[in-house]
Amino acid sequence: MNNLLNKYRKNIYGNFNGKTDNAESQKGSAIVIALLIMVLLLGFVALAVTRTTNETIASSNDAAESRAFEAAHASLEVMTRNFNKIFDVKLNPDTADLTRIEGQIPPGFENYTFTQTVRITQDAQIVVQTGGEFQGLNSLRDEWQLDTIATDSNGVQVQLRRRFFNNRIPIFQFGIFYDDDLEFHPGPRFDFGGRVHSNGSLFLMAGTGLYFSSKVTAVGEIFTDVARNGSPWTNWNENVFVKNASGSYVQLRNNMGSVLSNPVNGTQIYTDPDVPVVYRSANWGSNENLFQGNLLSRRLPLNLPIKIESQINQSAFDYVEIVKRGKQVGDLWNNGTGTPLLPNIVPVTTANADTDVTINQKYANKSGIRVSLADSKAKLPGCASGVGINAVLTPCGVRLDGDSIGLGIDPLLSLPRGYQPLTMSDGYQATELNGERFYQNSPNNRQVWIKIEAVGFNPATGILEARDITQDILSLGVTEPAPTISVSGSTKFQITGYGNKDSRSIIKLQRFLMPGVAVTATDDTNMTSYSWNGITYNLVLTDDCTDSLYTLLCSASVDGGVSYPSGFSGDNIAHRDAANVDGSSRYRRVVPFPINMFDTREGLFNEDTAVFNRSTVYGSNVPWNGVMSMIDIDIANLKRFLDGNYNTTMPTTTPFAIAAGRRLMNTDIPSANGWVFYVSDRRGDYDFDGEYDMEDIYGNNDGLLQAGEDINNNGRLDTETTNEAPRYSLDGLATSSTWKSYISPSAAAVFDHKFYRRGVRLINGTQLPGTYDSANPLNTRGFTFASENGVYVLGNYNATGIGSVGTPTASTAYLPQNTASHIPASIAADAITILSNAWSDTRSFRYPYDRSNRDATETTIRFAMLAGDARSSKNATPNQGGGDPRLTGGVHNFKRFLEDWGSNRLNYAGSLINLYNSHNNNGAFKCCGTVYNPPGRNWVFDSSFLDPNRLPPGTPFFQAIRLTGFQRLNN
């Protein structure tokens, strides 16, 4: 047996001693070895194939899972983005918003199914921000959770979750916020309250007392011994006090600023020659410590996300765009490549239209009502499309100075010029617009167009939508109603058959009477004055009616031959109304006329009589620069409309009513925590850029660019005196061949003009639209008014008075308080001027240069204010005259005035936000000889704004989403 085994071994391996057998034995061994190698190789191949297959399957699974992860992550990003967009429109998302977010899947992942959920994990609460640029500010914070499951067609699935804090910080959280230098130099005590911040420098000095009870911060320096115009602190005083962290007031003396003009310490801080020469204070560190963190310089800037690209200077960004008109496809715009005289006005394309962020931030697009006026139909929002007869006959807004239908054509033959509002369902019909007094033959056959829209974001799509409701709202009227005036039972004024005409007007463009004083010392051809019940009324009488019964003879009578100033025409017969005037046995003819007033600040380039003797230059005339064509917004009538009082009486033949199959109702006006009412009046804006092209505000139109004049920062002095802006003139030189730089007060008061001198005035605003729910703040609805024009607030606004007088009166003492009429309110505008309860348009024309005959009375207003101001300068030569030359007037004159307030108070509760320089009401600050004498400033920060649930609609918010968690839920 052993021999056989050894032989077998030898055949395979050879002899142990290394010797080989014969050839056949060697051949057999090779075959066996080859077979064994083949078997081994086949095993290796099989193993390799098996391993490769397994690795391919595993790799494929990894790739599918990676793609599913990417899909799930994209889902989270889309949900986060859409969630963020909600707060551009409203303060709190509702169920429909969340459902919409859950239904919008990320693009590019069509082979996946998504299960997306959004839920709140912690209800909103007010917290104090503890880090970053918002440190110390209150925010409305809630916590949210986003869950997503992404599944591909093979069943590969990834589940992800994101958690985050949603922080919303309202801009009205500040008592005072300036994006540039912030100046204080009040005479009387000024004690406002609320947090104060400047993205520029702070200039602090005061005559009697300036008190800060909250933190005061500046990105730049704190000046205490020199003002912005280079004047020394001794022109005012050093009575400035800031509370330290312990609550005690500490005086900030003139030598305690972060920079000082003296002593010299190293090199000067600023190289700009228009900034005072100052040096770093060697003692600032120890001085700053006295205030224990409540007075800080050299802070990080608070750069608000609402800053958007300027349409005027596209290399810069300008907060003023927040109050400007929108720019969307279907509109026209000035693309900035031309000049004021030769502008390049072109259609908006998708490439240069407002972005989503811009659309969301502009007040013009906030939920509510938008009113736009322009010189042509094509310049109205969404009306630039179409050519020829189709463009004329396609309804898009209304022409006010054309035929009575308002489609755009001129009236035929001798038919009246002017739009006739539609009759309402209950028979109410408002007065026709007297288009003769608005129409201008030049330049370029300028027309007057208006478009009124209901604006809001569609909750289903998140897209901005605007519906034309022009004819519906105008059916309420365009005229200030004419009163019936009686003296001792005897009728002194009454328009025949007038009834309740014009009693519902919201947007008022004309009136029959101007009460106050006689516009001129003696009657002339433009106006006639009568005194009834101790009040003088001015009216336009065109002729007498020879028929005392006012029958057909009287209604067919011809023009009475009234003369008019250059460029104006007479009134059509149809515009005249027969009236009992002053108890005459014969009827007189009266006509309505535009609403105008005189703004002395805008009208004069210099306040000093020694520099500019108005009586010598103008005599009894007024300069065109100050004649402001007004749109009066009747807040009381607006409230009635929004309350639904006219739901059953609106007309049924308007484009809106025909499209909707029913009349307009108050519920058709979109609301987001209340309403925003926006007005843009660009009549006379020849280059259609939304700014007044008269930057040459110093020195009688000397044509030289002075420091402080280049408002839009485009590096040039923009003046266009042919079509848009009258001259400031010492000699009365003609602005053009037919228009001089001045006009008689009576003509200025009753005719429209061609210039871009437009203002919007809020009247009858004691009670605003909206409501206050003390039990549930989320049900509170407020009211915001916004305009790219200057806004004038006439009389008490959102308040009836104050409960007590303090230093200052607490905001909780403003009446009414915590009732249904305590409305969160704000006004955002190019500039804001306060007119007291005693304001008189007639006095503004009769006494344009004598403030002592423009007396104010105590007035109470309550609203957050977002507006622009003028510019300060160290080197403007010549200057605007008066007190504090070359200065803006400081925050204490941020609200503008035109009256002699004497010892009367202006009671104000709100928030003062200055984000830009005024581009329309751009006249320099002037005080205190000709323009006004300031009121007693009983002003206070409205502490209700510290509750983010009690804010006006459209309030700009800083929004900061802070991610707190991210995880994968499946393996």
Q: Is the pLDDT of residue 874 over 80?
A: yes
Q: How far is CA 870 from the centre of its chain?
A: 17
Task: Tell which wins on pLDDT, 265 or 878.
Answer: 265
Model pLDDT for residues 170-211, shown as the tens digit of each residue? 999 999 999 999 999 999 999 999 999 999 999 999 999 999
d(CA 437, CA 746): 13
Whether 416 and 575 have beta carbons less than 8 Å apart is answered as yes
Judge if the upstream peptide bond of residue 343 is cis by omega within 30 degrees of 0: no
Phi, psi of 207, rounded to the nearest 5 degrees? -75, -50
Output the six-digit token pair for 83: 């969630």
pLDDT for 451 equals 98
Whether 273 and 875 have beta carbons less than 8 Å apart is answered as yes
Average pLDDT of span 564-580: 75
Model pLDDT for residues 282-295, shown as the tens digit of each residue? 999 999 999 999 99
Whether 183 and 175 have beta carbons less than 8 Å apart is answered as no
d(CA 736, CA 722): 6
Model pLDDT for residues 808-853, shown as the tens digit of each residue? 999 999 999 988 899 999 999 999 999 999 999 999 999 999 999 9
Cα separations (Å) of 663 from 79, 422, 523, 656? 38, 13, 47, 8
Quick one: pLDDT band at residue 94, thresholds 50, 70, 90?
Answer: confident
Q: Is the pLDDT of residue 342 over 60?
A: yes
Model pLDDT for residues 349-369, shown as the tens digit of each residue? 999 998 887 888 899 999 999
Task: Tell which wins on pLDDT, 955 or 730.
Answer: 955
d(CA 503, CA 646): 12
Task: Tell which wins on pLDDT, 697 or 678.
Answer: 678
Taking the CB of residue 716, how many other CB atoms lie within 10 A of it? 11
Of 717, 529, 520, 503, residue with least CA distance to 619: 520
Strand order in the sheet with 528-532: 514-516, 535-539, 528-532
Of 849, 848, 854, residue with least CA distance to 901: 854
Dihedral angle over CA of 505, 514, 904, 869, nearest 10? 70
Quick one: pLDDT band at residue 333, thresholds 50, 70, 90?
Answer: very high
Output the six-digit token pair for 553: 């003879």
- Per-residue DSSP letter, 476: T
pLDDT for 35 equals 62
Task: Tell which wins on pLDDT, 821 or 796.
Answer: 796
Model pLDDT for residues 375-384, shown as the tens digit of each residue? 999 999 999 9
> Which of these ranges, 296-300, 524-528, 666-670, 894-898, has the smallest mean pLDDT?
524-528
Task: Tell which wins on pLDDT, 47 or 558.
Answer: 47
Output the six-digit token pair for 340: 């004021």
Q: Is the pLDDT of residue 46 over 60?
A: no
Q: Is the pLDDT of residue 733 over 60?
A: no
d(CA 682, CA 685): 5
Q: Is the pLDDT of residue 445 over 80?
A: no
Dihedral angle over CA of 283, 251, 131, 91, nearest 10? -150
Residue type present at position 329: V
Whether 526 and 747 have beta carbons less than 8 Å apart is answered as yes
d(CA 252, CA 240): 5
Q: Is the pLDDT of residue 8 over 50?
A: no
Of 854, 834, 849, residue with least CA distance to 603: 849
Instruction: State the pairing for strand pair 449-457/249-252.
Output: unpaired
Show Cβ contacts of residue 433 under 8 Å, excluding neighbours closer than 6 positions: 400, 401, 418, 419, 420, 478, 479, 509, 510, 592
Whether 851 and 191 have beta carbons less than 8 Å apart is answered as no
Q: Is the pLDDT of residue 786 over 80?
A: yes
Task: Tell which wins on pLDDT, 566 or 87.
Answer: 87
Instruction: State the pairing for strand pair 485-487/490-495.
Output: antiparallel
Cα separations (Å) of 844 from 626, 749, 760? 10, 10, 16
Q: What is the CA radius of gyration of the chain?
A: 37
Phi, psi of 696, rounded to the nearest 5 degrees? -80, 70
Task: Tell which wins on pLDDT, 393 or 798.
Answer: 798
Task: Tell which wins on pLDDT, 949 or 843.
Answer: 843
Q: Is the dihedral of CA 504, 506, 511, 514 positive or negative?
A: positive
Cα separations (Å) of 108 from 155, 630, 708? 18, 53, 52
Phi, psi of 933, rounded to the nearest 5 degrees? -120, 125
CA triple 113-117-118, angle to 5 deg: 145
Whether 507 and 371 have beta carbons less than 8 Å apart is answered as yes
Model pLDDT for residues 915-944, shown as the tens digit of each residue? 999 999 999 999 999 999 999 999 999 999
Of 865, 800, 880, residue with least CA distance to 834: 865
d(CA 327, CA 585): 57
d(CA 142, CA 126): 9
Output the six-digit token pair for 656: 């809106």
Average pLDDT of span 720-730: 84
Task: Tell which wins on pLDDT, 313 or 821.
Answer: 821
Q: Give the percent of the chain with pLDDT over 70.
A: 86
Whether 191 and 211 have beta carbons less than 8 Å apart is answered as yes
Dihedral angle over CA of 239, 243, 248, 252, nearest 10? -30
Of 192, 358, 366, residue with least CA distance to 782: 366
Q: How many residues appear in the chain?
A: 971
Burial group, residue 549, by CB count within 10 angstroms (0-12, 13-18, 19+): exposed
CA triple 491-496-501, angle to 5 deg: 105
Instruction: For the chain, give the mean pLDDT.
Output: 87
pLDDT for 316 equals 59
d(CA 969, CA 971): 7
Scan for tokens 């007035």, then name that residue: 859
Model pLDDT for residues 611-647, shown as the tens digit of each residue? 877 777 788 899 999 999 999 999 999 999 999 999 9
Q: Is the pLDDT of residue 559 over 50?
A: no
Q: Is the dihedral of CA 818, 823, 824, 827 positive or negative?
A: negative
Dihedral angle over CA of 320, 321, 326, 328, nearest 10? 160
The 3-class SS string of 705-750 reads CCCCCCCCCCCCCCECCCCCCCCCCCCCCECCCCCECEECHHHHHH
Q: Give the percent of the chain with pLDDT over 90.
A: 65
d(CA 218, CA 41): 81
Task: Tell which wins on pLDDT, 435 or 583.
Answer: 435
Question: Rounded to two decimals, what is the model's pTM?
Answer: 0.87
Output the six-digit token pair for 405: 């239908």
Helix (H) or strand (E) holding 70: helix 23-86
pLDDT for 112 equals 95
